[in-house]
Amino acid sequence: MVSRTQHRTPVAVWLFAIAVALVLAGAGLSVFINFAGAANTQSDGLVGIDETSGSFELQEASSNATMELASESSNEVIVRDMSAGYEEIAQEEEAARLAAEEAAAAAEAKAIQRADDARAKYLNTFGSLPAGDVDFSVGREAFIDEWGTRIDAYLAGTNLAGYGETFATAAWEYGVDPRWSPAISNTESGNGANCFLPHNAWGWGSSSWSNWTDAIYAHVRGLANGYGFTISYSYASTYCPPFTDHWYNNTLSQMKLI
């Protein structure tokens, strides 16, 4: 036979097991409910974010459209402003160009007048031009081009080779015969081969220079200020008193070669 104690023990165990099961079931239900709530909350949060994001997108699109319109309007203003600026710059450049042309024309007219005056003074003094006339009325560019080329041909192979344009430009600036200074350089130094002082190819006082360009300009200026338009026997007697005849004849013959 089974005792009461032995009979009650299984019942108590079962009751305990049932109680534990109920507790566990309740806990699981609570966990499930909490999990579901959390899930719903998370879902609600996600929905809120999506809606907010959508609102942001709408606002951003609206803002971009506004910025584009503002940008287009701003660009139009800039284009108009720049166009006005370009027009103003173009007008200033045109005015500067016209002013430069007028200044150049005035300078050219002055140079021609200076040469004409020097020629007229020479003719009034000596009656004729021994080496032939030189036409300044052709204008600066044509004058320098013609005489620069002719003087270069004359000086080819000498120490002064390549300085034809320099001689011609100086002659234009000071209104003298462009052949005069190159021819004197032949008489005095063999066109720069035998200079008694550095870059002094003309026996010009006690002067010296550091380069041919400065020397040429100085000599041509000296001829214009101290002598006149072109060679004369009277000028030869002043330039080279001991050998006037030789100096005059040699220099004049060289001028006629140019």
Q: Taking the CB of residue 70, how many other CB atoms lie within 10 A of it?
A: 10
- The model carries a pTM of 0.66
Could you say which of 45, 77, 111 is where a domain stops?
A: 111
Is 182 contained in some domain? Answer: yes
One domain, residues 67 and 16: yes
Domain boundary among 111, 136, 171: 111
In a domain, residue 118? The reply is no
**pLDDT tens-digit readout, 32-41:** 444 444 444 4
Residue 119 lies in a domain: no
Model confidence over 200-225: pLDDT tens digits? Answer: 999 999 999 999 999 999 999 999 99
